Amino acid sequence: MQFEIVGNPDYGELKVVLDVGDVVLAEAGAMSRMSGGLEMQSRMMGGFLQAIARKLVGGESLFVGEYTAKEEPGYVSFAPGVPGCVQHRKLNGDSLILTAGAFMACTPGINLKPVFGGFKALFSGEGAFYLEASGSGELFFNGYGGVIEKEIDGEYVVDTGHVVAWEPSLDYKITGMGGWKQTLFSGEGLVLRFSGQGKIWVQTRTMGNMAGWLRKYC
């Protein structure tokens, strides 16, 4: 299997070249085009209960598309639902935390399960659950706008709407900007305060801000 990411940072797209026997899984609706010899079927990733949990609390589709090169090589291209950047992370028995809607595609060795973000996450506007991707294989995720990879050693504060993914070696908590009064009247929302050592991925735009901007003209 080979892959290529093109179009970053504005209109990222993932192209996967499959040899005979190769399989790739992708978020429902992500496929933009594929060669005619591939076989595609929908299935529940991880079984019924995990798929239901991801749908209800993780913000992901109930089904994923499974693309297989059974009799001949082929290729398939995937594009995220919003304009932005596609990222790749190879997992070797480790894991990565994704925010809702960030998952795009992976190889069969990756498992996704919802992780509760804490009660304050209920009021963040970004969903109360995250997705933990674990196992061994290739993982692809996306953000809205450009995606910045940041190495943290200490403390780092990010608006909840701008966080795409982070390594579980980092501790985090959801707080307001200063006190709750300042949070309510400053125009800023809740933030994720990371501490420790590890990497995070931050998107330069948010759907919430875009929706608010569009409402001015509707």
Distance between CA 41 and CA 182 in Å, rounded? 50
pTM above 0.95, yes or no: no
What pairs with residue 64 in β-bridges? 27, 43
In order of their start, the domains of the chain are 2-215 (3.60.160.10)
- Has residue 139 got a pLDDT over 90? yes
Among 138, 131, 167, smallest CA distance to 51 is for 131
**Mean pLDDT, the chain, integer:** 86
Answer with the residue of higher pLDDT: 59 or 37: 37
In the chain, the percentage of residues whose pLDDT exceeds 90 is: 62
Distance between CA 117 and CA 75 in Å, rounded? 36
Let me know if 207 is exposed, middle or buried by CB neighbors in 10 A (0-12, 13-18, 19+).
Answer: middle
Contact 71, 37 (CB under 8 A): yes
Which H, E and C letters describe the chain, residue by residue? Answer: CEEEEECCCCCCEEEEEECCCCEEEEECCCEEEECCCCEEEEECCCCHHHHHHHHHHCCCCCCEEEEECCCCCEEEEECCCCCECEEEEEEEEEEEEECCCCEEEECCCEEEEEEECCHHHHHCCCCCEEEEEEEEEEEEEECCECEEEEEEEEEEEEEHHHEEEECCCCEEEEECCCCHHHHHHCCCCCEEEEEEEEEEEEECCCHHHHHHHHHCCC
CA distances from 76 to 5, 21, 67, 142 (A): 12, 14, 8, 17
Length of the chain: 218
- Has residue 184 got a pLDDT over 60? no
Q: Give the full edge-to-edge strand order of the sheet including 31-34.
A: 2-6, 13-18, 74-78, 31-34
Per-residue pLDDT reduced to its tens digit, 149-167: 999 999 999 999 999 999 9
Per-residue pLDDT reduced to its tens digit, 8-27: 999 999 999 999 999 999 99
Contact 119, 190 (CB under 8 A): no
